[in-house]
């Protein structure tokens, strides 16, 4: 039978029948490009990807169609970008760039450079985006190409707005709209006008914002329907709404203008069959109804937006509208349905965390991941905690408490992933152990900072207990900031009143829970601003917390792998710098620090010129170290790319640290402890503290010892040395106890009794 089929195929091909069939199955390449453009205009990006992918393949088979292939690759990249698949989009641009020659149409390299700049922007690589966009702008103006120049100027404005350079953004948008109107390129002109109106708000140019919106909307209403037109109408509608609080006398007029713009967007989206555009248009209309407290109407519109999101397979929209439905159902006193909506929102967020982060950054350029999507997690936790009050059955009550904690835990994991922008957090999570089962003498304290109160969940060997403190997140954060500020000032004891206040809020309500339970260690899972302070320095009016308990910190209960440190067979790699290098001051006491630690544990020491990054890599490749000690400057910043540890020959970024130390992750015994004895984190910078909290995870180590602020060289060296000496003592039962004893020894020394000297060091993750 197979032989007959092959003969028939041969006959068809000889008679040209096969060619006819192929022609019917695969449209001409020009038609593929046209179909892709039409799909893109209608917001059907998946279809655009399919058609343009086929076109690229067809051009590849045609030896004389290289420039057409480049054009198709650029368009394919744009479609992938619209789907939020930025890495794939970048691959298409790289392929296009590799095909360009000096003899090609001069527009092609400019378009590639411009699109590359846009992708850099979306990836948060602002310096690279600036270089690419400015160079493409220079080349476009030199050609000259007015339409392309106007488009690039609009993206230059977008980048400036993201960086908070609103005056620069306004200048770029204004030049873009003027250039586009002269072409004329009406849709681009309207886009730049709306963007100019948007950045007029932070510049407090409210009177200029509304006329720009009015002009843009007038242009939009005379254009052929398209997905881009829908997007601009939506942005215009949202900007009209944002003007209402500042132009109070025009509230009614602005509300009506906002409704009209969003209705126009929804009407055009439905007309085009653009499900994604329809989802956003109807969803934002629902938000407008929500703002007007018309909750029932808002819920109806929001449910339509959810339906459109599902049909469009657009989880980046779906999470927003499920979240919105949750808020509306909560306002309508339907908590059970609200909880279900919130759960569905979180499922959508978890599936596309990186895409959500990038997409939201475009709407709220100055907002952090916490500020943009954190609310959905904490609002669900809030509802679950409130619901636990009504559950008389202790088993059901504890289940509700655990779900509330697990919901916040999901956010903590996502936030760390967003900070590090890689999979190191998931790798840590796969090895984690439930903390409650590990130690019978440790209490795990899980504070949840809500808008109107502080909830504290305490996991004890006997189960989980909840305590509520009537202090909202804003007031708690303000107290934390003051405490941290005074804590570093060695000449004053102004920190003490704040230490007592925070003790009264965070520890005093829960301390009776473990009375007579033999608890000697507190494992704290801090959130937000709580990451920026050492809880060991809280004070009960008589003594510091560290006098009563060993204290450890972990970024999440699902991110810790608590196993006792094998102190009998420690294999130590210690590295450090005593000299002034790369504009950082000398650390003369480091040599004594490394010498003392070496006397205790042996191992390898690399000092100054020996502490080269290549040498560290070589050592970690060839020797099974269990502890790595780094006595050098380190800085934790809001951006993980700017966080580093100082080696003699350069700055060791977190990615480089992961690359080196991560080699040990796959051994039977990965790195047990990494110590950073001279690092600092900016006071009041919660996101920078997030980097510190996750340093053990990033390094692939079970635990880390690191400082929140930079001590003087002598004090830091002495405290760390004392920690290692206590760790060497057989009577000390855990790593947390070793740090506790070292800190108490400092506290009892009049020269170092101020917490500025001893409280900076945190034990992160595994405390055993």
CATH number at residue 406: 1.25.40.10
Statement to judge: residues 413 and 445 lie in one domain: no
The distance between the two most distant Cα atoms of the chain, rounded to a whole number of Å, is: 101
Where is average pLDDT lowest: 144-153, 173-182, 343-352? 343-352
Question: Which value, to the nearest 10 degrees, does the dihedral of the CA atoms of residues 344, 346, 351, 356 take?
Answer: 120
Where is average pLDDT lowest: 246-250, 434-438, 679-683? 434-438
Does any domain span residue 356? yes
Determine contact, residues 684/543, Cβ cutoff 8 Å.
Answer: no
Residues forming beta bridges with residue 764, ordered by sequence position: 553, 704
Statement to judge: residues 545 and 610 lie in one domain: no
Q: How far is residue 548's CA from residue 521's CA, in Å, rounded to a whole number? A: 9
Structure tokens at 123: 């990836």
**Which pLDDT band holds residue 682 (cuts at 50, 70, 90)?**
confident
Statement to judge: residues 668 and 743 lie in one domain: yes
Which run of H or E residues covers position 56? Answer: helix 45-61
Question: How much is the pLDDT for 431?
Answer: 61
In this predicted structure, the answer to whether residue 718 has a pLDDT above a threshold of 90 is: yes
Does any domain span residue 497? yes
Question: How much is the pLDDT for 628?
Answer: 95
Determine contact, residues 742/723, Cβ cutoff 8 Å.
Answer: yes
What sections of 572-651 are H helices per DSSP?
590-601, 613-622
**Which pLDDT band holds residue 436 (cuts at 50, 70, 90)?**
low
Statement to judge: residues 512 and 582 lie in one domain: no
- DSSP labels, 725-754: HHHT-TT--SHHHHHHHHHHHHHTSTTT-S
Q: Which of 507, 523, 553 is the last residue of a domain?
A: 553
Statement to judge: residues 602 and 740 lie in one domain: yes
Does any domain span residue 73? no
Does any domain span residue 382? yes
Of 312 and 434, which is predicted with more confidence? Answer: 312
Statement to judge: residues 605 and 687 lie in one domain: yes
pLDDT in tens, 207-243: 999 999 999 999 999 999 999 999 999 999 999 999 9
Of 488 and 6, which is predicted with more confidence? Answer: 488
Statement to judge: residues 286 and 371 lie in one domain: yes
Strands (E), 381-529: 442-449, 454-460, 463-469, 521-524
What sections of 421-527 are H helices per DSSP?
424-430, 473-487, 495-506
**Which pLDDT band holds residue 430 (cuts at 50, 70, 90)?**
low
Backbone angles phi, psi at 764, to 5 degrees: -110, 135
Statement to judge: residues 478 and 393 lie in one domain: no
Q: Which of 385, 420, 455 is the last residue of a domain?
A: 420
- Unique residue bearing structure tokens 């504890």: 398
Average pLDDT over residues 736-754: 96
Question: How much is the pLDDT for 360?
Answer: 47
Q: How far is residue 673's CA from residue 665's CA, in Å, rounded to a whole number? A: 12
Number of structural domains found in the chain: 3
CATH number for 748:
3.40.50.1460
**Which pLDDT band holds residue 503 (cuts at 50, 70, 90)?**
very high
Question: How much is the pLDDT for 311?
Answer: 94
Mean pLDDT of all residues belonging to the chain: 89
Does any domain span residue 311? yes
CATH number for 526:
3.30.420
Question: How much is the pLDDT for 368?
Answer: 77
Question: How much is the pLDDT for 20?
Answer: 38
Question: Which value, to the nearest 10 degrees, does the dihedral of the CA atoms of residues 378, 383, 384, 386 take?
Answer: 120
Average pLDDT over residues 413-427: 78
Statement to judge: residues 544 and 618 lie in one domain: no
Q: How far is residue 44's CA from residue 63's CA, in Å, rounded to a whole number? A: 30
Question: How much is the pLDDT for 13?
Answer: 33
Of 674 and 103, which is predicted with more confidence? Answer: 674
Domain that holds residue 539: 439-553
pLDDT in tens, 300-312: 999 999 999 999 9
Structure tokens at 371: 């500020």
Q: How far is residue 703's CA from residue 626's CA, in Å, rounded to a whole number? A: 11
In this predicted structure, the answer to whether residue 47 has a pLDDT above a threshold of 50 is: yes
Question: How much is the pLDDT for 11?
Answer: 31
**Which pLDDT band holds residue 2 (cuts at 50, 70, 90)?**
very low
Percent of the chain scoring above 70 in pLDDT: 92
Question: How much is the pLDDT for 642?
Answer: 86
Q: 206: which residues sit within 8 A by CB, 6+ positions away?
A: 200, 243, 246, 247
pLDDT in tens, 291-345: 999 999 999 999 999 999 999 988 889 999 999 999 999 999 999 999 999 999 9
Q: 639: which residues sit within 8 A by CB, 6+ positions away?
A: 124
Q: How far is residue 722's CA from residue 700's CA, in Å, rounded to a whole number? A: 25
CA nearest neighbour of 672 among 697, 701, 631, 705 = 701
Question: How much is the pLDDT for 103?
Answer: 74
pLDDT in tens, 534-547: 999 999 999 999 99
**Which pLDDT band holds residue 122 (cuts at 50, 70, 90)?**
confident
Average pLDDT over residues 41-68: 89
Statement to judge: residues 544 and 674 lie in one domain: no
Structure tokens at 210: 């509304």
Question: How much is the pLDDT for 26?
Answer: 57
**Coil, helix or strand at residue 625:** coil
- Unique residue bearing structure tokens 């992918």: 53
Does any domain span residue 220? no
Neighbour count for residue 695 (Cβ, 10 Å): 26
Question: How much is the pLDDT for 3?
Answer: 38
Of 2 and 332, which is predicted with more confidence? Answer: 332
DSSP assignment, residue 145? -
In this predicted structure, the answer to whether residue 711 has a pLDDT above a threshold of 90 is: no
Does any domain span residue 453? yes
Backbone angles phi, psi at 57, to 5 degrees: -65, -40
Statement to judge: residues 443 and 388 lie in one domain: no
Determine contact, residues 192/180, Cβ cutoff 8 Å.
Answer: yes
Statement to judge: residues 372 and 459 lie in one domain: no
In this predicted structure, the answer to whether residue 409 has a pLDDT above a threshold of 60 is: yes
Does any domain span residue 434? no
Percent of the chain scoring above 90 in pLDDT: 70
Average pLDDT over residues 426-454: 79
pLDDT in tens, 515-530: 988 999 999 999 999 9
Determine contact, residues 682/751, Cβ cutoff 8 Å.
Answer: no
Of 360 and 202, which is predicted with more confidence? Answer: 202
């Amino acid at each position: 039978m197979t032989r007959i089929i092959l003969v028939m195929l041969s006959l068809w091909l000889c008679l040209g029948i096969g060619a006819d069939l192929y022609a019917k199955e695969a449209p001409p390449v020009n038609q593929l490009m046209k179909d892709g453009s039409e799909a893109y205009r209608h917001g059907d990006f998946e279809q655009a990807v399919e058609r343009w992918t086929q076109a690229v393949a067809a051009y590849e088979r045609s030896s004389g169609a290289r420039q057409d292939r480049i054009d198709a690759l650029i368009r394919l990249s744009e479609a992938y970008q619209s789907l939020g698949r930025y890495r794939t989009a970048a691959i298409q641009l790289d392929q296009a760039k590799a095909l360009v020659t000096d003899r090609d149409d001069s527009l092609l390299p400019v378009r590639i450079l411009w699109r590359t700049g846009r992708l850099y922007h979306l990836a948060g690589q602002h310096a690279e985006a600036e270089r690419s966009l400015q160079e493409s702008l220079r080349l476009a103006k030199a050609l000259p190409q007015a339409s392309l120049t106007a488009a690039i100027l609009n993206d230059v404005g977008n980048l400036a707005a993201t960086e908070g350079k609103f005056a620069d953004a306004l200048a770029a948008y204004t030049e873009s709209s003027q250039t586009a109107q002269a072409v004329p390129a009406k849709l681009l002109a309207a886009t730049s006008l709306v963007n100019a109106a948007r950045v007029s708000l932070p510049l407090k140019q409210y009177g200029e914002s509304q006329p720009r919106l009015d002009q843009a909307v007038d242009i939009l209403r005379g254009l052929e329907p398209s997905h881009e037109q829908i997007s601009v109408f939506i942005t215009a509608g949202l900007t009209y709404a944002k003007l209402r609080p500042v132009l109070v006398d025009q509230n009614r007029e602005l509300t009506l203008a906002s409704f009209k713009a969003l209705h126009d967007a929804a009407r055009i989206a439905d007309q085009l069959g653009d499900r994604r555009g329809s989802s956003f248009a109807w969803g934002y209309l629902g938000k407008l109804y929500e703002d007007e407290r018309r909750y029932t109407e808002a819920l109806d519109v929001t449910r339509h937006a959810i339906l459109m999101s599902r049909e469009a397979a657009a989880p980046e929209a779906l999470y927003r509208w499920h979240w919105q439905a949750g808020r509306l159902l909560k306002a309508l006193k339907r908590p059970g349905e609200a909880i279900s909506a919130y759960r569905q929102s979180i499922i959508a967020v978890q599936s596309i965390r990186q895409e959500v982060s990038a997409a939201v950054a475009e709407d709220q350029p100055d907002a952090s991941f916490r500020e943009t999507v954190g609310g959905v997690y904490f609002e669900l936790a809030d509802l679950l905690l409130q619901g636990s009050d009504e559950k008389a059955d202790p088993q059901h009550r504890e289940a509700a408490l655990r779900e509330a904690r697990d919901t916040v835990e999901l956010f903590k994991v996502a936030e760390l992933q967003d900070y590090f922008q890689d999979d190191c957090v998931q790798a840590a999570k796969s090895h984690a152990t439930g903390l409650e089962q590990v130690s019978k003498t440790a209490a795990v304290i899980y504070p949840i900072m809500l808008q109107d109160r502080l909830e504290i969940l305490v996991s004890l060997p006997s189960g989980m207990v909840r305590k509520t403190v009537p202090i909202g997140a804003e007031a708690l954060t303000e107290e934390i900031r003051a405490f941290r500020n005074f804590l570093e000032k060695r000449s004053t004891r102004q920190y003490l009143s704040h230490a007592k206040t925070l003790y009264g809020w965070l520890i005093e309500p829960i301390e009776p829970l473990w009375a007579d339970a033999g608890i000697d260690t507190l494992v704290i899972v801090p959130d937000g601003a709580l990451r920026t302070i050492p809880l060991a320095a809280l004070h009960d009016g008589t003594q510091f917390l560290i006098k009563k308990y060993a204290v450890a910190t972990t970024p999440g209960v699902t991110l810790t792998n608590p196993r006792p440190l094998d102190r009998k067979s420690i294999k130590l790699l210690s590295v450090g710098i005593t000299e002034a290098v790369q504009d950082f001051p000398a650390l003369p006491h480091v040599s004594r620090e490394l010498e003392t630690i070496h006397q205790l544990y042996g191992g390898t020491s690399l000092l100054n010129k020996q502490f080269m990054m290549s040498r560290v890599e070589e050592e970690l490749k060839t020797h099974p170290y269990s502890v790595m000690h780094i006595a050098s400057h380190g800085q934790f910043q809001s951006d993980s790319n700017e966080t580093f540890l100082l080696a003699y020959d350069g700055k060791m970024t977190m990615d480089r640290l992961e690359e080196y130390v991560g080699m040990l992750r796959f051994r039977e015994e990965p790195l047990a402890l990494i110590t950073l004895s001279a690092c600092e984190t900016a006071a009041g910078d919660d996101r920078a503290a997030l980097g510190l909290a996750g340093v053990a995870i990033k390094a692939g180590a079970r635990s880390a010892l690191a400082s929140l602020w930079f001590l003087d060289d002598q004090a830091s060296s002495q405290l760390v040395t004392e920690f290692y000496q206590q760790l060497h003592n057989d009577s000390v039962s855990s790593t947390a106890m070793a740090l506790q004893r070292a800190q108490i020894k400092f506290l009892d020394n009049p020269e170092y009794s101020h917490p500025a000297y001893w409280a900076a060091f945190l034990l992160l993750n595994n405390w055993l």
